[in-house]
Amino acid sequence: MKDKTTRTIFSSLRVAERRLKGSGTAPPEAGLPLAEAAELPHTQRILGVGSDSPRRRPRSSLLTRLQSRSENIVLVLVVMVLLLSGCSSLTQMRRHPVTPGLQVKEVTLKPPQVEPRVGEKLTYTIRWIGIPVGTLTIEVKEKTFFEQTEVYHLIGAIKSNGFLSKFYKIDDVYQSYWDTQNHSSRRFERKVAQGRYRAYEINTFYPSEKKGVYYAPLKNETKEFTISGSVQDILSAIYYFRTAPYKTDLELLFPLVADEKNWQVGMKTVEQGILEIRNFGVHEAFLIEPSAILTDSPDLSQRDKKKSGPPKGRIWIWFSADEKRIPLIVRAEATRVGKITVTIESIE
């Protein structure tokens, strides 16, 4: 049985590695742009359907929408989710999965900390089909300055453990420089080492000019793109949600840039309760299902001609209901590689 599992993992990793060698493809095009919401730093909308409620197309999952290249590690939380490569096809779920150790009940969501704590470091274990395959860390490294603006230096890192490294070594580092005043991203760096694949990309954001600049040192490539104003990246989005005003009967919306494209991310509560985590205690928590929609403006006539289908996957994130709003567990399910779980281990 162990040999069969090992062969399955090895085969899946080889498929993922072959995908990395191919050229990147654009993400699947989403529903109609929400221009009015994209112009705002964030929007909250009361959930529910009424006669005056505007109709809108269903949004595909954040995991599906943000995975524009097969080599990408998805940081959802909103996008905190950092998942291993090759998980492009997810099983469809009618509702969120059952969480072991959960006592379902309504919880009291405390007001969040207004600012992140400098020096905070969260460490997680990544499990693939129940097998530990690596670690994820996210931390608030320091306060510093970027172009005369005070920013938080945020760092996220994924490292494969000894077992996975024998087949497919992963050593990824993400860095975000997050404005301390308006809580928006000013610069995002992505340095990726996955198997034989290497990438180093830098996005710099200029909110007042509604402009972003992409630079890839390894390819010596530079280009400009348009942004809606103040935006988040896939790492700063974690801290934006943790510090933003939010109630469980509301949906938090905010603009995010990934792969030089503009997205509108929604964070919606789908479950509440008392969550018990091994070696981490018992916590009041609420479950978020992130989603995203492309807000760039492609040729609508061409987009409508393309075959559309239901979302290919969904992802869920448990946050603590206290003022720290700690991401506790991230869960997703993939048809080819099984269940992926990211579980908190320690806080420094």
pLDDT per residue rounded down to tens, the chain (348 residues): 545 555 555 565 555 555 544 544 333 333 333 333 333 444 444 333 333 434 444 454 444 444 433 333 333 333 333 333 333 333 333 455 566 667 778 888 899 999 999 999 999 999 987 889 999 999 999 999 999 999 999 999 999 999 899 989 999 999 999 999 999 999 999 999 999 999 999 999 999 999 999 999 999 999 999 999 999 999 999 999 999 998 888 889 999 999 899 999 999 998 899 988 888 889 999 999 888 888 875 443 444 433 333 345 568 899 999 999 999 999 877 666 567 899 999 999
At 159, the amino acid letter reads: K
In which domain, by residue range, is 154 found?
Answer: 2-347
DSSP 4: H
Q: In one letter, which amino acid is 248?
A: T
Q: Which of 159, 327, 316 is nearest to 239 (CA)?
A: 327
Provide the strand spans (E) within 6-118.
Answer: 43-46, 102-104
Q: Structurally, how many domains does the chain consist of?
A: 1
- How distant, in Å, are the alpha carbons of 19, 61, 80, 110 from that of 89? 13, 12, 19, 36
Q: What was the pLDDT predicted at 212?
A: 96
